[in-house]
Amino acid sequence: MIVNIGSLNIDYVYDVESFVRKGQTISSTRRSVFAGGKGLNQSIALGRAGADVAHAGLVGDEGAFLRDLMLESGVDVSRVGTAEGHSNGHAIIQRDSEGDNCIILHGGSNRLIGAGLIDTTLLAFKPEDWVLLQNETSCVSNAIEGAHARGMKVVLNPSPVNDALLACPLELVDCFILNEGEAAAIAGIDGAADELLAAMLDRFPDAEIVLTVGADGAYYARKGGEPIFQPAFAVDAVDTTAAGDTFTGYYLAERAAGSDPSRALLVASAASSIAVSRPGAAPSIPLRREVEAKLAGLGLA
């Protein structure tokens, strides 16, 4: 069983001719509303991958549809509470005529997760269960400490990296799934993938490191072994949003089901290559049977 204590966001996208400037009032030509948040995307990826997954978190008054979306993908949402009287975590996004973005983030309900909710959640799970975390919610430190103390495996997608994240007890993390920018910020060096992996392992010798390098592929490394590299699948990318979230969900679903790191990298790469070939975030995350069909088509089933 996997419990993802993570963010649940709403993205409000406003189409504008050009971004609003200081003192100016402009009208938007269209508003679109999307489900978002790394937590939500990763739970949906886990659910569509067929994992036994529960999401724990908080929605605001207007966030009930986020719960329904996860439920439709097979996620147990019984631990998603409502922060009554508070707004849901959301992003206000201006999209100009050239497709560029300007974003205001409001943590809302995601920042109201407290130590109490984390403790109650963890108590409902067993030491053999896994905890997945990102850094878009409050009390990440409590979650790492609490899960580790309970003997659960802690998987962290350290995104975004900020001072609060760097102050967490990262040495208690069992597996990091991160991109090059995040690895560079945590390890404190700039360098090629092999240097980033070495620096992460020097700093966290007991952890497994899964490093994604976009259209190039992904690596797995642990102390004392040769790194494993899985090239990305060649596809026509139309929208890379949620590539990393799809990868994280499928990778963890595979590991929790007993696959070795090579197989988990292969399946996660196939899944994220499908996600980048479709528009959108959560809607682009493939179902398990689509991933299996892709692998079978390539003789990799």
Separation of alpha carbons 228 and 130, rounded Å: 23
233 binds ligand ATP (CB under 6 A): yes
Q: Which of positions 98-117 make contact with ligand ATP (CB under 6 A)? A: none
The DSSP call for residue 233 is P
Helical H runs in 104-234?
115-123, 140-149, 163-166, 180-187, 193-203
Rounded Cα distance, 20 and 277, in Å: 32
Output the residue with the shortest Cβ distance to ligand ATP. Answer: 244
Q: Which of 62, 55, 61 is nearest to 80 (CA)?
A: 55
Q: Which is nearer to ligand ATP, 109 or 269 (CB)?
A: 269
Near ligand ATP in 193-212, by CB under 6 A: 212
Among 110, 142, 269, 284, indicate the residue that binds ligand ATP (CB under 6 A). Answer: 269
Among 66, 170, 276, 285, binds ligand ATP (CB under 6 A): 276
C-alpha–C-alpha distance, residues 6 and 194, integer Å: 30
Q: Are 159 and 211 in contact (CB under 8 A)?
A: no
Q: Is residue 245 close enough to count as binding ligand ATP by CB under 6 A?
A: yes
Cβ atoms < 10 Å from Cβ of 279: 10
List 243, 256, 266, 291, residue binding ligand ATP (CB under 6 A): 243
Catalytic residue among 163, 194, 245, 260: 245
Nearest-angstrom CA–CA distance, 131 and 97: 41
Nearer Cβ to ligand ATP, position 125 or 233? 233
Supply the minimum distance, in Å, between the C-beta of residue 66 and ligand ATP.
18
Minimum Å gap between C-beta 134 and ligand ATP is 10
Is residue 191 a contact point for ligand ATP (CB under 6 A)? no
Distance CA 261, CA 228 (A): 8
Residue whose CB is less far from ligand ATP, 11 or 245: 245
3-class state of residue 34 by DSSP? strand
> Smaller CB distance to ligand ATP: residue 2 or 266?
266
- Single residue of 73, 88, 110, 272 touching ligand ATP by CB under 6 A: 272
DSSP state of 172: G
Closer by beta carbon to ligand ATP, 94 or else 212: 212
Instruction: Check residue 160 for interaction with ligand ATP (CB under 6 A).
Output: no
Whether 245 is catalytic: yes
DSSP category for residue 77: E
Length of the chain: 301
Chain contacts with ligand ATP (rule: CB under 6 A):
179, 212-215, 217-218, 232-233, 235, 237, 240-245, 247, 269, 272-273, 276
